[in-house]
Amino acid sequence: MRTPIIAANWKLHKNRAEAKEFLNEFREKVKYISDVEIVLGPTFTTLDTVIEGTEGTEINVAAQNVYYEQEGAFTGEIAPNMLSELGCDYVIVGHSERRHIFGETDGDINKKVHAVFEDEMTPILCIGETEDERNEGKTQSVLKRQLESGLDGLDPSQVAEMIVAYEPVWAIGTGESASPEDAQEGCKFSRDLVSEVYDEETGEQVRLQYGGSIKPHNAEELMSLPDIDGGLVGGASLDPKSFSEIISITEELY
Ligand code: PGA
């Protein structure tokens, strides 16, 4: 059975003081959660605060991005070994904001996925179509391209261990999540593709998150879908109350 995983993507929010305030409340609220894996994804400068503040708990920590080189003349970048040294467990790779605002290509994203594994962290690979691509009937071809290139060169055991987050771009930050049918369809398509490219077992093992306007009021219908093993939560993860509610709702489903 796949362990559900709910991850927070704080994006460009919360400095260290705000993260401490969040943790004081959040730790209490999730202290009895045992069947859902919890991940917090703060900014780079707040990672150490969150890593220290979650010591002695089961909460894991994700960086929101990484560069694929270990060192060199790459002004402004952060290397995988720097994140693993801090104690990061996961790295979010290929988020739609990285792809669309910062111009990351499928090739860059694949190099990042490999780099994360090389430093013994786990990638959360984000894929998802834009509204125009959906309207033009290209959803499946976009997911296929992003997933096949994102996973290129990995072996089945790595794919089985990682997380793929299906985040339709039109549902991110809009308050309008995908319908349960569309969310399930995107995740099922991704799982079937992994089974086809690798094998059935790998397809059964890879954990798939849905992301895009998950809130406490829609968490139950989205998290209960057969091919959805958790969520990547932006806006609603900034508030300890709403984020812990999403986690508790998910735990009750398992
Ligand atoms: P949202 O963001 O929950 O605010 O839609 C999700 C994400 O970008 O990962």
> Is the entire prediction scored with pTM above 0.85?
yes
CA of 71 to the centre of ligand 1 (A): 31
Please give the pLDDT value at position 62. 99
CA of 177 to the centre of ligand 1 (A): 9
Q: Over the stretch 122-175, which tens digit does the pLDDT of each residue have?
A: 999 999 999 999 999 999 999 999 999 999 999 999 999 999 999 999 999 999
Q: Which residue has the tokens 């400095």?
A: 15
Is it the case that residue 44 has pLDDT exceeding 90? yes
- Residue of the CA atom closest to atom 2 of ligand 1: 234
Atom number in ligand 1 closest to CA 172: 5
CA of 173 to the centre of ligand 1 (A): 5
Atom number in ligand 1 closest to CA 232: 9
Which residue of 5, 12, 172 sits with most ligand 1 atoms within 8 Å of its CB, as the best mutation to test the pocket?
172
Q: Over the stretch 46-95, which tens digit does the pLDDT of each residue have?
A: 999 999 999 999 999 999 999 999 999 999 999 999 999 999 999 999 99
Q: Exposed/middle/buried for 71, CB within 10 Å: 0-12, 13-18, 19+?
A: exposed
CB atoms within 10 A of CB 150: 22
Is it the case that residue 34 has pLDDT exceeding 90? yes
DSSP 184: H
Please give the pLDDT value at position 7. 99
* Mean pLDDT computed over every residue of the chain: 98
Which residue of 93, 213, 215, 243 sits with most ligand 1 atoms within 8 Å of its CB, as the best mutation to test the pocket?
213
Please give the pLDDT value at position 145. 98
DSSP 178: P
Atom number in ligand 1 closest to CA 215: 3
Q: Which residues have CB under 6 Å of ligand 1? A: 9, 167, 172-173, 211-214, 232-236
pLDDT average, residue stretch 215-225: 98
8 Å CB contact between 46 and 14: yes
Report the percentage of the chain scoring pLDDT > 90.
99
Integer CA distances (angstroms), 236 to 99, 170, 172, 173, 214, in order: 22, 17, 11, 10, 7
> How do strand 122-127 and strand 5-9 relate by DSSP bridges?
unpaired
Domains defined along the chain, listed by start = 5-252 (3.20.20.70)
Please give the pLDDT value at position 1. 86
Please give the pLDDT value at position 77. 98
pLDDT average, residue stretch 8-35: 98
Helix 240-253 × helix 216-223 angle, to 10°: 30
CA of 24 to the centre of ligand 1 (A): 23
Atom number in ligand 1 closest to CA 171: 5
Is it the case that residue 198 has pLDDT exceeding 90? yes
CA distance 107 to 92: 16
CA of 72 to the centre of ligand 1 (A): 32
- Residue of the CA atom closest to atom 6 of ligand 1: 234
CA distance 176 to 215: 10
